[in-house]
Structure 1
C-alpha cells in the first residue's frame, strides 16, 4: 500500500508531462520496456536497487542499457534514482497505465478460464463487458484448469466468478449449513 501512495505523484507527474506533449502512448511504451527489462534481468535490477552504488553509476547504466530511451522516461528514472526510489518503478508504471486507461475510457479485464476461448468467444466476451461497463474493454486471458469449467473475470476491484469450482464450493457451503435450497434429494 505504501508503494502505491508514494508512486502516485511520480506517475501523475509523468502522465501530466506526457499528456502536455501528446506522447502518452510513447511514454507508456518506453516505461513498459524498462519494466520488462527490469523484470527479465534481475542482475540489472539488483544493481540499480543497491544503495551503495552511486546515483551517477546507476544513471550511466540506464543510459547504456537503454541508449534510445524516451527523454521523458529517462528524466523520470534519473529522478527516481536520485531520490532512492528505484523500487517504485513497477508501481509507477502500473499507476501510469491506470491513468492512461482512464483517459481513454478503457477498462482492463483479466479473464481466467478453465479451457481456451475461441476468437469468437473472446470477442463476444469483450462485447458483453464493453456493453456492461459502457467503456472499451481490453481483455487478457489466462487458463486455469482448476476452475473445472466457466471463467472468472477481474476488472479493477470487481470480480465476476462464474466458474464451476466456485459454484461447487457454494453448493457445499449450502449443504453444510443445512440450506440445500430443496434442490438436493436425500436417499
Structure 2
C-alpha cells in the first residue's frame, strides 16, 4: 500500500495542478472517482495483466468504461496506461481528494456509531467538529455494532472515542494493577 501511494502521489499532484489551472476540481474529482471504481474491479485487473493488449488499448477500455471524460482526463488515463500505472488509480483518487480537501479547507471525518444516526444527530456532531477544527466537515458514517453504544470519530490520524466499548476498555485497563 505504501509503495502504491508513493507511485500514485506524483500523478495525483499533476492531476490536481491541472484541475486547479482549469478551475475544474469537481469535474476531476468525479472523473477520478469513476476511474477508480473501474480500475478497482476484477475485470480491470485482468486487463492490466493481459500481454495481448497494448497500454493504449487498456487505457481506452478503462476510459470508455468510466463514462464521460474530457480530453485532458483521457490524456491522463493514456499517460497512466503508457507507464503501466492504471492499477494505482484508486490511490490517485484518494490522494487527489486529500489535496482538494486541504485546498478547500475541508476535513474528512469518519463517524462510527453502534446504531444508524439520525440526520439531526449527525448534524450536531458535524457542527461540533466544525467549531473545534475551524474547517468545513465532510462526514461519512459507518455502523459498527461492536461499539455497543456511542460514537467513535476519526479525524485524520486522531480518534475521538466516545463509545461504550472504548470506555469499558479504558476502565478495564485502569483496573489492572
Give the TM-score normalised by the residue count of structure 1.
0.88
Alignment match, 1:34? 35
Q: Deviations over 1:97-131 (max 9, x none)?
A: 00110111000100000112111111111100000
Instruction: Give distance in 2, aligned partners of 1:92 and 1:66.
Output: 15
* Partner in structure 1 of residue 128 of structure 2: 128
What stretches of structure 1 move > 4 A for 4+ residues in a row? none
The unaligned stretches of length 5 or more in structure 1 are: 178-187
The 1:141–1:63 alpha-carbon spacing in structure 2 relative to 1, beyond 3 Å, is closer
- Is 2:39–2:86's contact at 8 Å kept on the other side of the alignment? no
SS at match of 1:162: strand
CA distance in 2, matches of 1:29, 1:156: 22
Q: Which ranges of structure 2 fall in alignment gaps of 5 or more residues? A: none
Distance 1:70 1:129, change over 3 A: same
Q: Which moved more, 1:168-177 or 1:138-147?
A: 168-177
Contact 1:8 1:95 in 2 (8 A): yes
* Structure 2 CA distance for aligned equivalents of residues 67 and 152 of structure 1: 37
State the alpha-carbon separation in 2 of the partners of residues 149 and 156 from structure 1: 22
The number of aligned residues is 175
Residue deviations 1:12-40, cap 9 Å, x none? 1101011001001111101111112333x
What TM-score does the superposition give when structure 2 sets the normalisation length?
0.92
Indicate if the aligned counterparts of 2:35 and 2:62 stay in contact, CA closer than 8 A.
no
Partner of 1:7: 8
- C-alpha RMSD of matched pairs (Å): 1.5
Matched, 1:55 2:66: no
Residue 44 of structure 1: how far off its partner (Å): 2.7
